[in-house]
Amino acid sequence: MYDFIFKPFNEMTEEDYKTVGFKSGLEIHQQLLTEKKLFCRCPAGKYSKDYDAEILRHMRPTLSEMGVYDGTALMEFKTKKNIIYHIKRETVCTYEMDDTPPFLINEDALDIAIGIGMLYNCNVVDEIHIARKQYLDGSIPTGFQRTAIYALDGWIPYKDRKVKIVQMSIEEDSCREVSDIGHDRVYLTDRLGMPLIETVTEPAMKTPQEVAEVAWQCSKLVRSTHKVRRGMGAAREDVNVSVEGGTRVEIKGVPQITLIPLLTYNEAMRQWNLLRLREELKKRGITPETFKAESYDITKLLKKVHYAPLKNAADSGMMLSAVVLKGFKDLLHWQTQTDTYFSKEISDRVRVIACLTNIPNIIHSDSKSDSISSADWLKIKKFTNAADNDTMIIVWGSEDDVKTAVNEIIIRAKEATIGIPSETRQAMSDGTNGFERILPGADRMYPDTDLPPKKITSERLDKIKLWLPEQIWKRIEWYNKLSIPKDTIEELSVSKYAKLFKKAVNDWKINPTTAAVLLIQYPKRLIKYGCIIEWLHEGMFEGILKSYADGKIPNDALLTTLRTVAELGAFTEEVIKNPASKKEVDEVIKLAQTECDKMKIINPEKKNEILLGMIMKKLRGRIPAKVIADKIGFSN
C-alpha cells in the first residue's frame, strides 16, 4: 500500500492525492472590524512595537471541566518558559494583563459574528456559553482564550457540492510573538483581545488546490460584509491535513491563502513518508514493543572535540549526551518533506520542549560529514556499545535541558514506530512545516466562570438581517445571468456597492453592465487622474446612477461626471444640470486671461493661481478644477 512515492509538487495529480487519501479542512480566523476589543474597552487594531512596561508570567496546567489534564498543557509545562509581555498603555489595560475580570462581551462584535454565521447558512445557537480554552504557550496572559461557539452546521457551495461548516466561534485574538530564545519567550500585547471569529470546515477537500479555493470562497464571503479587518494578519488559516492511515495534523497560522497548496502538499508528503518509515521499522523488527533506546552522559568523553557547537558547550561546562536508537541506522536521514528529513522531527522537539533553540541542537551518526570526526564517532560508539545498525544522536546544553531533550528524543523516535503524532505544526516560508506543539484535545476547555451565558434572541437576528448582504454565490449567479463582464463580477460580489447595484438594476432599470462598470471599473481609471478613490462614497454613485436613470447624464459622460464628483468630493445637482461644454470653458478661460492681464499683480508668480480662482468662480461644480489647471498650465 505504501509503494507510492510523492512526486514533485507540480507533478502531483488528483489521482495521486486520491491514492494517498489526502483529506483537508480549514479553520479560518478572521478579525472583525470593531472599534474596541472583545472583553474590554481598549481600542482594537492599533499596532505598535514600542512599549512602556514589561510583565513576566509563568503558566501552569490546570484541570479541565471533565477533571483531567490536557496533554499539550503538560508538555508546555515541561518547557518552563519565562513569558515576557511588552505592554503599551494605549492598547492594553489591566484586563488583558489578567489583573481585572472581563467586561461583558462587545455586542458589535457579536452582531458581526452572527451575521457572518448566517451567511454561512449556520444555525445560530440559542444561548452562548463562553469557554476558556487553555494555551500554555503564553500567547494569552490568562493562560486561556475566551471563546464561544455561536453557530453550527452551515455550508457553502463549492464546485458541484456543499462544503459543510462544522462550527463557528467568537474569540479574543492572542499576542504577537517577538522572540523565543532559550527559556525566554517575548510577546507584544497590542493584538491581544481583538475580536476574532473562527470558522471550521469539515475535512472535505481532496487536493491542496481545493483547500485554497475553499479558503478564497470563505474569504470573499466575509469580505462581502465589509465588517471584517483586512491586511496582514487580519485573516489567518489553520489547515488540518491527513492521509489514509494518518492522523489529523494542524498547520497553524498560515498568513496567506496562496501558501496553502504547497504547505498541504508537504504535510501530506510528511505523513505519507512517516507511514512508510513505520513500515521500514516494522521490516527491521522495530515495533512499539521492541523499540529500544539508551542514553549516555558523554560530557567527559568529548572533552577535546573540535566541532564548534560541541566545543563551546564543553568549554562552558554544559552537558553532552548521546542517545542510541537501536536498529535506526540511516533512518534519521529518511525524507519527510521537500529537503527535510526525520532528524528535523527530532530536532524540532528538542528545540520546542527542551528549549535548546540554537540550531543545530542535535547531530547524529546518519549524517556524519559536517560535524565531529569519525574518530570521535568511533569513540562514542565504543563507549555506548552501539552496534553497526544503530543510530547515535548527540545533544548538548544545560543539565536540565539535556535531560528533557534526551527524554523527548526517545519519545519522538518511539512515536515513529506508532505512526504520526497528533501535532500542531507551524508553517515555514519555504512551504514546509515544523513542530509547534502536541495537538490539544477537548480536555483543555473550561467554562468561563467570570461571565454568564448569553441568550441570542430572534429580535437580534432580525436586526442583523437588515444590514446583511445577500449571499455572495447567489449574487454571482445573478450577475452571470445579467451577462456582466466576467472581470467585473468577482469584484462586484464583494463590493460595498452591491446593494446599490441591485437598486440601480431592479428599481431604476439601468443596464447592468453600465452600472457594474461605473461602480467597479471607473473608479480604477480615476486613479490615473490622481483621484483618491478611497474618498468616493455611496452617495456619489447613487446620485450619478439616479441622474443617469433619469436621463440627465448621457452614457459617454458617466466617466467624466464621476471624475468631477470625485474631485469635488460631493455629488451636486450642478454637475448634472449643466456640465460645462468645451466651448464654454474656452470662452471663460479667454475672458479671464484678458482680465487678468489687465490687473496689477504684486507677486507675478501667483498669477496662475489667481487666474484659476477667477475661472473656477464661474465654473465651480461644473468641471473639475484640475482640468482647468492643466489647461492653463498651473501646477502646485
Partner 1 sequence: MAEINLEDYKGYRGVALNTLQKFKTPIWSDVEILTDEGSFKGLILPRSETADEFHIVLKMPIGYNIGISAEKIKDVKIFGRREAKYKIPEKDFPYDPKKPRVKLLGTGGTIASRLDYRTGAVIPAFSPGELYGSVPELADYCNLETEKLYGEFSENIGPKHWKGVAEAIGKEIEKGVQGIVIGHGTDIMHHTAAALSFMVQNTPVPIVMVGSQRSSDRPSSDAASNLIHAVKTAAESDIAEVMVCMFGPTSDMYGLLHRGTRVRKMHSSYRSTFRTIGDIPIAMVSHEKITPLREDYKRRRDDKEVIINPVFEEKVSIVYYYPNMQPDIIDSLVDNGYKGIVIAGTGLGHVNKPMYPALKRAREKNVAVYMTVQTLWGYVQMYVYDTGRDMMELGVVPAANMLPEVAYVKLGWALGQTNDLEKVKEIMLTPINGEITEREPSNGYLIYQGGLPEVEEFIKQYRK
Closest approach, Cβ 630 to partner 1, in A, equals: 52
For position 439 contacting partner 1 by CB under 8 A, the verdict is no
Q: Helix or strand or coil: residue 626? A: helix
Q: Which stretch binds partner 1 (CB under 8 A): 56-64, 365-373, 397-405, 587-595?
A: 56-64
Closest approach, Cβ 64 to partner 1, in A, equals: 7
DSSP string, 253-297: EE--GGGHHHHHHHHHHHHHHHHHHHHHHHHTT--TTT--EEEEE
CA 125/CA 103 separation, integer angstroms: 22
Q: Are 356 and 320 in contact (CB under 8 A)?
A: no
Closest approach, Cβ 98 to partner 1, in A, equals: 5
Q: Which stretch binds partner 1 (CB under 8 A): 18-26, 66-74, 492-500, 588-596?
A: 66-74
Q: Are 435 and 352 in contact (CB under 8 A)?
A: yes
CA 122/CA 152 separation, integer angstroms: 5
Using the CB atoms, write b or e for 305-319: b if 16+ within 10 Å: bebebbeebbeeebb
CA 573/CA 588 separation, integer angstroms: 21
Closest approach, Cβ 133 to partner 1, in A, equals: 8
623 phi, psi to nearest 5 deg:
-155, 140
Number of C-beta neighbours around residue 180 at 10 A: 18
CA 425/CA 577 separation, integer angstroms: 63
Closest approach, Cβ 202 to partner 1, in A, equals: 13
Among 7, 282, 455, 537, binds partner 1 (CB under 8 A): 455
For position 73 contacting partner 1 by CB under 8 A, the verdict is yes
Q: Which stretch binds partner 1 (CB under 8 A): 184-192, 223-231, 441-449, 605-613?
A: 441-449
Q: Are 293 and 325 in contact (CB under 8 A)?
A: yes
Closest approach, Cβ 54 to partner 1, in A, equals: 5
For position 445 contacting partner 1 by CB under 8 A, the verdict is yes
Nearer to partner 1, 73 or 204 (CB): 73
For position 64 contacting partner 1 by CB under 8 A, the verdict is yes
Cβ-in-10-Å burial (0-12, 13-18, 19+) of 583 comes to exposed
For position 53 contacting partner 1 by CB under 8 A, the verdict is yes
CA 380/CA 386 separation, integer angstroms: 8
For position 74 contacting partner 1 by CB under 8 A, the verdict is no
Closest approach, Cβ 146 to partner 1, in A, equals: 11
Q: Are 362 and 343 in contact (CB under 8 A)?
A: yes
Site for partner 1 in 262-281 (CB under 8 A): none
Q: Name the residue with cell 488546490.
A: 209
For position 152 contacting partner 1 by CB under 8 A, the verdict is yes
CA 537/CA 374 separation, integer angstroms: 73
Q: Are 91 and 46 in contact (CB under 8 A)?
A: yes
Site for partner 1 in 566-585 (CB under 8 A): none
Nearer to partner 1, 150 or 334 (CB): 150
Closest approach, Cβ 32 to partner 1, in A, equals: 19
Binding to partner 1 by CB under 8 A, coded x per residue (else -) over 154-173, reads: -------------x-x----
Among 28, 109, 110, 131, binds partner 1 (CB under 8 A): 131
Number of C-beta neighbours around residue 186 at 10 A: 18
Phi/psi zone of residue 624: left (φ > 0), alpha (ψ -120 to 50 degrees), beta? beta
Nearest 5 degrees, angle CA 484-CA 488-CA 489? 70
Q: Where are the beta strands (DSSP E) in 42-122?
A: 53-57, 82-87
Closest approach, Cβ 65 to partner 1, in A, equals: 6
Exposure of 424 in the CB half-sphere (CA atoms within 13 A): 20
Closest approach, Cβ 148 to partner 1, in A, equals: 7
CA 168/CA 195 separation, integer angstroms: 13
Among 5, 13, 49, 94, binds partner 1 (CB under 8 A): 94
Site for partner 1 in 508-567 (CB under 8 A): none
Nearer to partner 1, 390 or 443 (CB): 443
Q: Which stretch binds partner 1 (CB under 8 A): 178-186, 269-277, 363-371, 451-459?
A: 451-459
For position 178 contacting partner 1 by CB under 8 A, the verdict is no
Closest approach, Cβ 134 to partner 1, in A, equals: 6
For position 148 contacting partner 1 by CB under 8 A, the verdict is yes
Nearer to partner 1, 54 or 177 (CB): 54
Number of residues that bind partner 1 (CB under 8 A): 60
Closest approach, Cβ 88 to partner 1, in A, equals: 11
Q: Which stretch binds partner 1 (CB under 8 A): 41-49, 105-113, 130-138, 206-214?
A: 130-138
Closest approach, Cβ 218 to partner 1, in A, equals: 19
Nearer to partner 1, 171 or 415 (CB): 171
CA 126/CA 456 separation, integer angstroms: 5
For position 371 contacting partner 1 by CB under 8 A, the verdict is no
- Closest by CA position to 326, among listed 270, 249, 367, 387: 387
Among 18, 58, 282, 617, binds partner 1 (CB under 8 A): 58
Q: Where are the beta strands (DSSP E) in 10-77?
A: 23-31, 53-57
Nearer to partner 1, 242 or 347 (CB): 242
Among 446, 478, 529, 634, binds partner 1 (CB under 8 A): 446
Ranges of H-type helices in 284-426: 308-315, 342-353, 374-384, 399-418
For position 125 contacting partner 1 by CB under 8 A, the verdict is yes
- For binding to partner 1 (CB under 8 A), which residues are involved? 51-67, 69, 73, 84, 94, 97-101, 123, 125-129, 131-136, 141-144, 147-149, 152-153, 167, 169, 441-447, 449, 452-453, 455
